[in-house]
Amino acid sequence: MEAPAKSFVFAPLYNEAPKPGEPPKNDAIGAFHPGMSIYKKLYEGMGKEVVTFKFDNTAPAARRRQSILDKMQQGCGTQWYDAIVYFGHGWKGGLASAGFNNDSREALTDAIWQYGTPGVKVLLYACSCAIPGGYAYKIAQDLNMFANAGMEVYGHPSVGHSFTNPQLRRYPSNQGETGETVCPDGKVQSWLKLMKNEKSGFWAQVPFMSREEIAAAM
């Protein structure tokens, strides 16, 4: 595994407000923050740098986006990021918690291009961003100038747990808009077991492992 020397990780600060009649939600504190903490502990434990930012998700979308881009720039310093990591709500058309949609996607991918290494990994620990033709695919298309240098975008094609959702796709791919299924052929049960273990950090290591290393871990 080639661990990222430097990562930028962002997630919403507050639990999402419930709709009228719904019980309180525990999404940020119960899932997004623990994911951020596990990722940070894993890679800082390897001597790597992890810049984290919990943005105010109650602010207007434009302000949320700008705060994230500002922090990304401030945290970069003299060393580019090997990974840009998002924990939050997502959908086919964007990063819902962060306020990024297709209309504002260019601002995000421009920042990744400016502050990321050519081999940057973009990790979207959010629901549905990797639905065929969705946000993960479009980010990879925007960053296709890095495609031959190792740039990859990872996302989930379904609704599920932020970071242990076993349905994981990789872009760019010869599968086009559908993306490449990361789980090795014939290894579904082992994959499910490893991905389910939140604290093991396997889910956070997968994007930095080769296909051979992933298969061997099964």
Q: How do residues 12-27 score in pLDDT, each as one tens digit?
A: 999 988 788 778 788 8
29-to-102, 139, 191, 212, 218 alpha-carbon distances in Å: 27, 27, 26, 35, 31
pLDDT at 124: 98
Pick the CATH number of 6-217 from 3.30.310, 1.10.3470, 3.40.50, 3.90.930: 3.40.50
pLDDT at 39: 98
Residues of the chain with pLDDT under 50: none
Report phi then psi at 93, rounded to 5.
-100, 10
Report phi then psi at 176, rounded to 5.
65, -130
pLDDT at 199: 85
Answering whether pTM is above 0.85, one says: yes
Question: For the chain, first and last CA: distance in Å?
Answer: 15
pLDDT at 13: 97
Domain spans in the chain, listed from the N-terminal domain onward: 6-217
Q: Which helix (H) or strand (E) holds 87?
A: strand 81-87
